[in-house]
Amino acid sequence: MTQPVTGPYAAGDAGGPGTAPGAGRGPAGTRAPAQHILGGWIAAALVMVLLLVVSVPIASGVDRTSTVIAVLLSLAGGLSVRHPVIGAVAVGAVLTLGLGNGPAHIGTGILASPVTVAACAARGRLLTSIGMASWHVIPPAVSGVLRGDDPEFLISQVMLWLVLQTSAVLAGTWGRSLAWRAHEERSRRISDLAEQRRAIARELHDTGVRAMTRVVMLSENATVRPGIDAADAAQFARIAGTAREATEELRLLLETLRTEDSPDVPLPTTGEQSGPIELRGLIEGLRLRLVAEGFDAQVSLDADAELCVPRHGVLDRCLREIEANVTRHGDRGVPVAILGELSTPATMEEGGRPRLELLVRNGIAPRAASAPRGGAGLDGMRERLAQIGGRLETRQEGSSFLTHLTATCTRPHDSPEHAPAGPRSGDDPGHGVTDARA
């Protein structure tokens, strides 16, 4: 019997498991450059404020002209984070024009110069950074001559600024090389991951898809075999329908695996392209599949008839895993009760979305049905639900087994009147049904 497990649970999310592949890539693709630009201007503002803090207080103690020069150099240093060449030219222009007002005090405002030089080198403009560094050294030297500084002191100052500017060029070049190596390493990892995904897709095609296709062919050939009983033909048709839908989902998965997307974009669930489905229809589909397996299943659902959830989303995957567990371990002589209630959350933290309380009770067969050994279906449920919140509880009470789901439902963007209708009671539950045995 399936061991009791607990874990988060949810019915789906408009921007997550219920979103078609590529549906969110447009906004995500435009959001990333916008965030990059915003981050660049924030960095520029921080550099500008830092330069203002270290230069303006000292310059304000000299005269007004020195204060204006310190402010202009700080603004140019901050601008160089986004536009290095413009910032470097602005620094050179301020330093040069400052000579026209006599030997004005520059002081710590000169620190804007190595910032702009390093920024130019980091952008790959090595010759420009060297030229700007040379330009920025000349005005302080001329200012020292005009003030009548001692020659030895003046030479030492020039040598110091040459060392500082050279260090700025080297720092910018080194930073660019680190960024380039990181970019190449990331590209290599992405390429390796893409190749691994293609290899997995090839293996799945040569094993799983080929085997499921053979099951479809054998089942369909059996339905037209001479002398076959009508009941047996119907069973073979159910097998063929189940295998056909499983094959289509496998093909969608393989197509997704072969797509070379960014690793920041998670792989979507294979059935998310099918659109929304009414919650009542989704649960009714579970009942019809259990009836087709020989169970007496009954549903009591207190929910909005027009509430839609993603078709083949997280909730649907969980319901199919419940179906697999009931089919494998349930007692067909005991009715299966499916009870559901939809309520509005009391707290705003839940986003004002309705919550689904679903309880499935089934009997436990004295002897498990002959079926393949269960896999990691419940672990997969737990991993899916952990991404979007909720709760899943399973436990045994005497000869009954209870599965309790608490799920936050999300209304898809599609209007209810355009949502595909759920299965009807008169439809053959065997066709178009995916076998969820793990």
How far apart, in Å, do the first and last CA atoms of the chain sit? 14
Hey, is 221 helix, strand or coil? Answer: helix
Q: Is a pLDDT exceeding 60 seen at residue 424?
A: no
Taking CA atoms, 308 is separated from 16, 390, 414, 418, in Å, by 15, 18, 9, 10
Q: State the pLDDT at residue 155.
A: 87
The whole-angstrom distance between residue 293's C-alpha and the CA centroid of its chain comes to: 38
Angstrom distance (rounded) from CA 110 to CA 38: 27
Lowest mean pLDDT among 39-43, 77-81, 347-351, 414-418: 414-418
Q: State the pLDDT at residue 431.
A: 38
Q: State the pLDDT at residue 260.
A: 58
Confidence of residue 101 (pLDDT cuts 50, 70, 90): low
Q: State the pLDDT at residue 218.
A: 93
Q: Is a pLDDT exceeding 60 seen at residue 15?
A: no
Mean pLDDT of 319-346: 86
Beta-bridge partner residues of 88: none
- Cβ atoms 392, 6 nearer than 8 A: yes
DSSP string, 365-426: -SS--S-PPP-SHHHHHHHHHHTT--EEEEEEETTEEEEEEEEE----SS-GGGSPP---TT
Beta-bridge partner residues of 309: 277
Of the candidates 300, 293, 287, 315, which has an alpha carbon nearest to the alpha carbon of residue 410? 315
Confidence of residue 245 (pLDDT cuts 50, 70, 90): confident
Lowest mean pLDDT among 290-299, 332-341, 374-383: 374-383
Q: State the pLDDT at residue 103.
A: 55
Token pair recorded at residue 122: 């980091």
Q: Which residue has the higher pLDDT, 376 or 69?
A: 69
Q: Residue-wise over 116-129: b if at least 16 C-beta within 10 A, else e?
A: bbbbbbbbebeebb
Q: Which residue has the higher pLDDT, 411 or 120?
A: 120
Q: State the pLDDT at residue 34.
A: 61
Angstrom distance (rounded) from CA 19 to CA 268: 8
Q: State the pLDDT at residue 186.
A: 92
Lowest mean pLDDT among 71-80, 112-121, 370-379, 393-402: 370-379
Mean pLDDT of 367-384: 66
Instruction: Return the residue matching tokens 């000169």.
Output: 110
Angstrom distance (rounded) from CA 65 to CA 74: 14
Mean pLDDT of 315-340: 89
Confidence of residue 438 (pLDDT cuts 50, 70, 90): very low
Q: What is the DSSP letter of 205?
A: I
Taking CA atoms, 385 is separated from 145, 344, 395, 407, in Å, by 73, 20, 18, 9
Angstrom distance (rounded) from CA 232 to CA 223: 8
The whole-angstrom distance between residue 52's C-alpha and the CA centroid of its chain comes to: 39
Q: State the pLDDT at residue 178.
A: 92
Mean pLDDT over each residue of the chain, to the nearest integer? 76
Query: What strands lie across the sheet with 391-397, from one edge to the other?
Result: 6-7, 391-397, 400-408, 355-363, 336-343, 297-302
Q: Which of 18-22, 25-29, 366-370 has the highest mean pLDDT?
A: 366-370
Main-chain phi, psi angles of 410, to 5 degrees: -125, 130
Angstrom distance (rounded) from CA 122 to CA 177: 8
pTM of the predicted model as reported, rounded to 2 decimal places: 0.52
Mean pLDDT of 327-339: 92
Hey, is 192 helix, strand or coil? Answer: helix
Angstrom distance (rounded) from CA 287 to CA 322: 11
Percent of the chain with pLDDT over 70: 73
Amino acid at 108: T
Lowest mean pLDDT among 105-119, 335-349, 387-401: 335-349
Helices H / strands E in the chain, number of each:
11, 8
Hey, is 322 helix, strand or coil? Answer: helix
| DSSP β-ladder status, 336-343 and 400-408 | unpaired
Q: How many CA atoms lie within 13 A of 212 on its CB side?
A: 18
What domains are there in the chain, each with its CATH number? 1-20+275-438 (3.30.565.10), 34-186 (no CATH)
247-281 tens-digit pLDDT: 888 888 888 888 755 455 455 544 444 567 788 88
Token pair recorded at residue 23: 């549906």
Q: State the pLDDT at residue 36.
A: 61
The whole-angstrom distance between residue 9's C-alpha and the CA centroid of its chain comes to: 19
Lowest mean pLDDT among 75-89, 104-118, 319-333: 104-118
Taking CA atoms, 74 is separated from 6, 47, 64, 121, 404, in Å, by 58, 8, 15, 19, 63
159-214 tens-digit pLDDT: 888 898 899 999 999 999 999 999 999 999 988 888 888 899 899 889 888 899 99
Q: Give me the torsion for CA of 378, 384, 387, 392, rounded to 10°.
A: -40
Confidence of residue 22 (pLDDT cuts 50, 70, 90): very low
